[in-house]
Amino acid sequence: MLGIYRSGTGNTRHCITKLLGLLDPDAELLMLSLANENQVIEKIRQNDTIILAYPTQFSNVPFMVRDFIHRNPDIWSGKKVLCMTTMGAFSGDGAGCSARLLKKRGAEIIGGLQIRMPDAVCDSKLLKKPREENQKIIREAGEKIERIAKVILKDGKYPKEGISFPAHLIGLFGQRLWFYGKTNGYSKKLKISDACVGCGLCSKNCPMKNLKIQEGRAVSKGRCTMCYQCISTCPKQAITLLGKEVWEQCRFEKYVNQNVK
């Protein structure tokens, strides 16, 4: 078994690490980024069963993950894939969106899993929750993953969340259609304020190599997959995307470890 994931603030990484650890402690887990794409492709070729995990974005798959599937259509044939997504509140068919893409390329979809986690959008005050509430959400997500792993291991039954036709309609009309403009390509909307000191942390970690340091400041090249990794880690809170101000940076580690600021 192989796990592939994209994760901006750590939620999806946590969930797939936990599920994979319960299902197959020897399984390999790889983060998807432009820098290691060839390695990911090679591992997919070598494995029959794959868990593909990513955060829901407007009831859709992050563009980077869709782009990866489109650019590598021949690696999925015959693979058994569990599509897994994490979400802040509602995803409809967040898992189904990648399931349909993969099915078209010959994969067998063995299941869909949609897990509620803290919201990653830290530049919207509306989506901010108290720490205790996020901790409760994480606890419940962990319990759900344990229940699901038990059923898979005991009965071989995978969950079917988000991959049905009704789920497709709910995701499409509930959200995806209305936000289609935000999800049909890489974003050019990343904003970097004068607070940037050019430390380079964001450019080092961006999975899209979208950020570079120019004349002592970070600059976006317009190929952002909206993962919120840089936004949630910039020491100067200088980066925003959907909103205008960072209210409180979201990182999985912050909720589970009191010492992480």
Ligand X SMILES: Cc1cc2nc3c(=O)[nH]c(=O)nc-3n(C[C@H](O)[C@H](O)[C@H](O)COP(=O)(O)O)c2cc1C
Binding residues vs ligand SF4 (CB under 6 A)? 8, 190, 192, 196-202, 206-208, 210-211, 218, 220, 224-231, 234-236, 238-239
CB 222 to ligand SF4: min, Å: 10
Q: What is the Cα 57 distance to its own chain's centre?
A: 8
CB 121 to ligand SF4: min, Å: 11
Cα–Cα distance, 139 to 116 (Å, whole number): 10
Of the two residues 23 and 61, which places its CB atom closer to ligand SF4 in the complex? 61
Identify the burial level of 85 via C-beta atoms within 10 angstroms of its C-beta, where 0-12 means exposed, 13-18 middle and 19 or more buried: buried
CB 61 to ligand X: min, Å: 11
**Of the candidates 4, 81, 121, 148, which one interacts with ligand X according to CB under 6 A?**
121
Of the two residues 65 and 102, which places its CB atom closer to ligand X in the complex? 65
Query: Residue 122 binds which entry of ligand SF4, ligand X, none, with Cβ cut-offs from 5 to 8 Å by kind?
Result: none
Query: Which contacts (CB < 8 Å, 24+ apart) does range 167-170 have?
Result: 167/92, 167/93, 167/96, 168/92, 168/93, 168/96, 168/100, 170/92, 170/93
Name which of 110, 91, 127, 121 is nearest 52 in CA terms: 110
The answer to whether 190 contacts ligand X (rule: CB under 6 A) is: no
Of the two residues 169 and 195, which places its CB atom closer to ligand SF4 in the complex? 195
